[in-house]
Amino acid sequence: MKTHVKALIVGGGAVGTSITYHLARAGWDDVMLLERDELTSGSTWHAAGLLPLFNMSYATTHIHQYSVEFYKTLEAETGLNAGFSIVGNLRMAQTKERMDEYMVYASTAESCGVPYEWLSAKQIKSRYPLVHCDDLQGAIYHPTDGYINPADVTMAMAKGARQRGVLIERKWQAVAYEWTGSEWKVTLSKMVEKGGNLLASDEQVVVYAEHVVTATGNHAQRTAQLLGIKNTAIPVEHQFIVTEPDPALVEWRKENGEHPVLRDADAKWYVREERGGWILGPYERNAPARFEYGVPDSFRADLFPLDLERIEEEYMSMIHRIPSTETVGLKDDFNGPICYTPDGNPLVGPAPGLRNMWLAEGFSFGITAAGGTGYYLAQMMVEGEAEIDMASLDPKRYGNWITTEYTARKNEEAYEHVYILHHPDEERSACRPLRTGPAYDRQKARGAQFGCVNGFERPNYFGPLDADDNFDHDARSFRRGGWWQAAMAEAKAIREGVGLIDATAFTKHLVKGPGAAPFLDWFTCNKLPKIGRINLTYALTSAGTTRTEYTIVRLA
């Protein structure tokens, strides 16, 4: 084992292996990957391997798109077949509101170059007669979606990394991290098997690394404790079941290619073909968070007991949508930990407050995101910036106000809300209110309807207090929600008069001293305001793109 490396990647799942590969491909030839057990032994091995391009996030769409294109090249490079199948993805809608959501997404798809097609219920039935369509409004179809074998694609990336000189060490666990002022001192313990458990032995090695990346999956909370930081990556149980062969599907396949992946977002499940049968993956209510305080030594490449009662509603919905499955038996089942964060986005980028420490944690769609995460994180590490805006994945979006209990409950909520209608004015209620400003009670008494910013409750608008008013505060929409009239009245009042804005949730910095003005003049790209005045300005990245927006008030 090397004791001095340019970069040490901790975690040998799909994400960690991809980061290792892409750093080597970017020219870093002194890279080492560390895995505490065997490659893929965390959540990678039991993942369904779907590659959905649909995502409302610009950054995540780019990441997923890169992954799909990258995985196509691996067999030619490494000689390993990762079981990549492009079968298409039919995302169905039972309501007009769901079709509105797909229309909003379509603008993201177009900007990222992701192909799609609109299908009516009649067209769905014509193409895919096994699907019950009487209660469907339509669907958006992605012809380039598919799936891949998670273990095989990880092994292919590992081989590609080794071909570029990367060293992969198994059965070693990081037990301590220390920044020396110029590099990271990482203490490793050799892992040994005892009675089925994987335990740290007395054998230790110290590795010095200029950069460290943690991609520790289910072990993210332990990693955060070792680093002295907080993160919001905690796993939630995810179940999926595999049916026996469906005679109707087998018959249809005699004259057709593989059936596309089906997603009924309003019923909260996905289904894909599997050896003549189907895999059903539901996102049900009441799925519990796991490993809030660490992964037991006894839990390795293991699963939890199946809870069929919890997914009964989604199972019956599958039978409604694919009637031929009513008489098909169940062949296999899986219930394993999948990492989540409160907003469903992973944590990708610099660790808060730590130099040359990078996080790649909290992936709920890890196979889809692995390729792109490796590519864009390698850009951040090697070049200083990624070519796309990664702010929505920045680990710093969660501050020290988070708690383990908060994270666990919010991650359960995020899991349950995977297929919710993601309105632009969506608000989620779990663990709220958590942080409130001094005026919270007075604002609430005057009809404030709160949003959550940086953990703080902040008024989005003030609703009417008239008891006879039928104003619906919960009317979300992709067009004009129930808040429209109230917000318009507020804007008019401030435009024509004066108003107060609660800035409690904003981050505020006081910059003072003889060098304050020259520093801010260099740091931002607009002229500083005169004393007693205020202006809006921006900070740029090293590539000249926008980093963030600031409001500067000049006091002296």
CATH number at residue 309: 3.50.50.60
pLDDT for 480 equals 82
Task: Kindly state whether residue 410 falls inside one of the protein's structural domains.
Answer: no
Q: With left for phi above 0 and alpha for psi between -120 and 50, is residue 351 left, alpha or beta?
A: beta
Same domain, 478 and 537: no
- Write the pLDDT tens digit of every residue in 339-389: 999 999 999 999 999 999 999 999 999 999 999 999 999 999 999 999 999
Q: Which domain holds residue 180?
A: 4-392
Query: Closest by alpha carbon to 300, among 233, 363, 380, 219?
Result: 219
Are 317 and 250 members of one domain?
yes
* CA 44 to chain CA mean position, Å: 15
332 pLDDT exceeds 90? yes
Q: 555 Cβ partners below 8 Å, 6+ apart? A: 531, 532
Lookup: tokens for 393: 């994945």
Q: Is residue 376 a part of any domain in this protein?
A: yes
524 in the same domain as 485: no
Cβ(197)–Cβ(298) under 8 Å?
Answer: yes
Q: Burial-class residue 513 by CB neighbours within 10 Å (0-12, 13-18, 19+).
A: exposed
309 DSSP assignment: G
Residues 432 and 469 in one domain: yes
Is 174 among the domain residues?
yes
Phi, psi of 548 (to 5 degrees): -165, 175
Q: What confidence tier does 497 reach under pLDDT thresholds 50, 70, 90? A: very high
Task: Examine the domain organization and report whether 491 and 521 are in the same domain.
Answer: no
Q: How far are the Cα atoms of 51, 112, 248 from residue 242, in angstroms, in the given order?
A: 18, 33, 16
With bands split at pLDDT 50, 70 and 90, how would you rate the model's confidence at 297? confident
Read off the DSSP letter of residue 351. Answer: P
Q: How many CA atoms lie within 13 A of 501 on its CB side?
A: 8
CB 177 within 8 Å of CB 212: yes
Length of the chain in terms of residues written = 556
- For the chain, the average pLDDT equals 94
Compute CA distances 432 → 133, 345, 429, whole Å: 39, 20, 6
Does the pLDDT of residue 467 top 80, yes or no? no
- 274 CB-near residues (< 8 Å, 6+ apart): 242, 243
- Whether 402 maps to a domain, the answer reads no
The CA–CA distances, whole Å, from 412 to 109, 290, 407 equal: 28, 10, 9
Q: How many CA atoms lie within 13 A of 411 on its CB side?
A: 30
Q: Are residues 179 and 64 in the same domain?
A: yes
Residues 492 and 521 in one domain: no
> Is the model's pLDDT at 482 over the cut of 80?
no
- What does the CA dihedral 541, 545, 551, 554 come to, rounded to 10 degrees? 60
* DSSP strands (E only) in 380-522: 448-453, 456-462
pLDDT in the model for residue 78? 98
The three-state secondary structure class of 384 is coil
Domain co-membership, 488 together with 536: no
Higher pLDDT, 405 or 480: 405
CATH code of the domain covering residue 470: 3.30.1360.120
Cβ 24 vs Cβ 112: under 8 Å: no
Residue ranges of alpha helices (H) inside 448-508 are: 484-496
Q: Which of 450, 468, 496 is the last residue of a domain?
A: 496
Query: What are 384-414's pLDDT values in tens digits?
Result: 999 999 999 999 999 999 999 999 999 999 9
In sequence order, what are the residues at sequence separation of 6 or more whose Cβ sits closer than 8 angstroms to the Cβ of residue 302?
336
- Token pair for residue 307? 């809870």
Quick one: tokens of 449?
Answer: 């309807």
According to DSSP, the residues that pair with 208 across neighbouring strands are 4, 185
Share of the chain above pLDDT 70, in %: 98
Mean pLDDT for 198-222 is 97
Confidence band of 220 (pLDDT split at 50, 70, 90): very high
475 and 530 inside one domain: no
Looking at residue 217, its amino acid is G
| 274 and 324 both lie in a single domain | yes
Check whether residue 172 and residue 315 sit in a common domain: yes
Q: Which amino acid is at 403?
A: T
Give the model confidence (pLDDT) of 154-185 as tens digits.
999 999 999 999 999 999 999 999 999 999 99
Give mean pLDDT, residues 438-455: 94
Whether residue 403 is contained in a domain is answered as no
Residues 140 and 225 in one domain: yes
Strands of 95-243, DSSP E: 117-119, 138-142, 146-147, 167-170, 172-179, 184-194, 197-214, 234-243
SS3 493: helix
Burial class (CB in 10 A: 0-12, 13-18, 19+), 134: exposed
Check if the beta carbon of residue 112 is closer than 8 Å to that of residue 195.
no
Exposed/middle/buried for residue 57 (C-beta within 10 Å: 0-12, 13-18, 19+) = middle
Dihedral, 396, 402, 408, 414 alpha carbons, nearest 10: -50
Question: What pLDDT shows up at residue 386?
Answer: 96
322 contact partners, CB below 8 Å, separation of at least 6: 130, 131, 132, 246, 262, 271, 278
Mean pLDDT of 86-91: 96
- Asked, for residue 360, whether it belongs to a domain, the answer is yes
* pLDDT value of residue 48: 86
| Residue 361 belongs to some domain of the structure | yes
Instruction: Count other Cβ atoms within 10 Å, centred on residue 399.
Output: 12
Statement: residue 465 has pLDDT above 80 = no
Q: Would you state the torsion angle of the CA atoms of residues 348, 354, 356, 361, taken in this order, to the nearest 10 degrees?
A: -20
How many structural domains are present in the chain?
Answer: 3
pLDDT at 549 over 70: yes
Closest CA to 152 of 144, 143, 141, 160: 160
| Residues β-bridged to residue 192 | 199
In a domain, 148, yes or no: yes
CA distance 47 to 40: 10
pLDDT of residue 303: 92
